[in-house]
Homo-oligomer: A and B are copies of this chain.
Amino acid sequence: MKLVIVGGVAGGASAATRARRLSEEATIVIFERGPDVSFANCGLPYYIGGEITQRDKLLVVTPERFRDRYRLDVRTRSEVQAIDRPAKKVRVRDLATGRDYDESYDKLILAPGAAPIRPPLPGIDLPGIFTLRSLDDTDRIKAAVDRGARRAVVIGAGFIGLEVVENLVRRGIDTTLVELQDQVLPPVDKELTPPILDQMRRHGVRVVLGQSADGFEPDSDGLAVRLKSGERLPAHLVVLGVGVRPENSLAVAAGLDIGPRGGIRVNEHMQTSDPDIYAVGDAVEVRDFVTGEPTQVPLAGPANRQGRIAADHIFGRPSRYRGTQGTAIVRVFDVTVAMTGASEKTLRRLQRPFLKVYVHPSHHAGYYPGAQPMTLKLLFQPNTGKILGAQIVGGAGVDKRIDILAVAIQAGMTVFDLEEMELAYAPQFGSAKDPINMVGFVAAGLLRGDHPQVTADQLLDSTDSAGSSFLLDVRTPQEFQAGHIPQAVNIPLDQLRSRLGELPSDRPLTVYCQAGLRGYLATRLLRQKGFDAANISGGYTSYRLFDAARAPHATPVGKPSSV
């Protein structure tokens, strides 16, 4: 068996080492266009920022290690230029010498990754405009920073864009973030993003939403980004984080099936339309585990898993890729945002029925110092309660709760299962009723009909909310005075039983508190007393998130920059 692998980073490297573990006898050749194999993509921004101080920490495995330990024939700076499928060989260019040669294969694995998009704008090739994908890219950006760049523009507020912003700020650089969409971190639903904007503001980052670059031009002090609005943003340094494009050119030229978004089509064994050719990682289209739709998820975990599965199948094992859930996490300064499964956006786009609830619990017991709050949004099927997706923003403990929910989705669990979860509780780590139990109680109670709810976006969308329903704030007068929903009337929960006479009996009541619990208690009480009451999911905290997400961003688009 001669196995040839194109690409030596996450998916390719995993496939190669797995193949060797399965067969001492196989010939395994890896072609990698760059100088490095298996480097730590996800660490690159932190080397620029200085949290990772040693460059060689980023080299997870060196070509030498691959040779010595796994007896892999690793050829770096070697670009595969074409696949000759009938002859089962690839054409390779040795980038060092310029020499071209053919290499035959029995089985071929394509792991070319994805390329950062460089939009064809005027001036895009000016010095100082970078993308961040490779160690070379990292070195170039770090060199620019080390040379004393003082102003930067980051274009694109996705995962990489946000990580780059954090790390540039850590280096003391005055940074502006430009995003085409009207929110940062487009994969999550918008109401989860105000805490990110808040972090940006606290760290002096200007965020320009709903805008894109129109071009780049030289400037006295380096270059300038010209926005569609006409604004000019001078910068010593521009980092593009506007997405990636699957590296499909080899596959396209070889006539392999390609999906509508450009990803290489594979079956559950990671086989392309040519059964002797497999493809893995950021270049392929896979199945979304929750929605069943084709999707592309440029993440390291799935890439590694897919590489392993391709190698398994080549060596006669029936391993199958079960699809991706899109589980992802990013830390932005002091806030962490994580997601798994489908977002509300995705469910709406696919017109899938869903319900959603919001809770705002603390990471751990409130009586123990240092409890950090989080906002957890859960999406689930209306009929069965099956969990469809979750998003969390907050501090410590966000990663734990998203992982618990990722496993619950994998297991096909329902919101009723969340009620039952027996999680580890000591005051440093959680609560006797963990945030996961809490969101289970809320969602299950909704499905059981215990407490009808209104979501804050429904309230904000409804033009006649104030007209048709009576808005009841059951918090303390102090909380009410510190801020409340317009037209709300305040009756604290603990006085509610004795003040029922103040409530209208001929109109629906929309009840809320700070985070949802007291509103729920009030709703239960009122419904038993004959009122048509519903609770705002997540209370005033949810309302403020939606309200902030809808407000024009604090730094208005088009305002002349003081940078």
Instruction: Give the B-binding residues of A (Cβ under 8 A).
Output: 10, 21-25, 40, 42-43, 46, 51-53, 57-58, 60, 65, 68-71, 289, 299-305, 322, 324-325, 327-331, 336, 338, 340, 365-369, 399-400, 402-404, 406-408, 410-411, 413, 417, 419-430, 432-434, 437, 450, 493-494, 497, 520-521, 524-525, 528-529
Ordered by A's residue number, 14 sampled pairs between the chains whose C-beta atoms are within 8 Å are A21-B520, A40-B367, A42-B365, A300-B425, A301-B423, A304-B432, A324-B422, A325-B422, A336-B429, A399-B400, A399-B430, A400-B403, A406-B424, A410-B422
Chain B residue numbers with a CB within 8 Å of A407 are 404, 407-408, 411, 413, 421, 423
Q: Which of B302, B417, B433 contacts A301 (CB 8 A)?
A: B433
Chain B residue numbers with a CB within 8 Å of A410 are 417, 420-422
Q: How many copies does the complex hold?
A: 2
Question: Is there an interface contact between A424 and B404, defined as CB atoms closer than 8 Å?
Answer: no
Chain B residue numbers with a CB within 8 Å of A494 are 65, 68-69
Chain B residue numbers with a CB within 8 Å of A289 are 422
Question: Is there an interface contact between B301 and A425, defined as CB atoms closer than 8 Å?
Answer: yes
Q: How far is the CA of A521 from the CA of B71 in the complex (A)?
A: 12
Chain B residue numbers with a CB within 8 Å of A433 are 301, 304
Question: Is there an interface contact between B330 and A426, defined as CB atoms closer than 8 Å?
Answer: yes
Contacts A301-B422, A305-B420 aside, 13 further interface pairs with beta carbons under 8 A come to: A68-B494, A69-B521, A301-B425, A302-B422, A304-B433, A305-B422, A327-B424, A338-B424, A399-B429, A400-B403, A403-B403, A406-B421, A411-B411
Give the Cβ gap from A547 to chain B, nearest Cβ, in Å: 28
Q: Which of B52, B303, B430 contacts A369 (CB 8 A)?
A: B52
Q: Which of B24, B368, B521 contacts A529 (CB 8 A)?
A: B24
Question: Is there an interface contact between B524 and A21, defined as CB atoms closer than 8 Å?
Answer: yes
Which 3 A/B pairs are nearest by Cβ-Cβ distance?
Answer: A411-B411, A329-B424, A300-B432
Question: Is there an interface contact between A420 and B529, defined as CB atoms closer than 8 Å?
Answer: no
Q: Which of B331, B367, B426, B520 contacts A426 (CB 8 A)?
A: B331
Chain B residue numbers with a CB within 8 Å of A521 are 21, 69-70
Chain B residue numbers with a CB within 8 Å of A53 are 369
Q: How far is the CA of A322 from the CA of B302 in the complex (A)?
A: 34
Q: Which of B65, B331, B368 contacts A46 (CB 8 A)?
A: B368
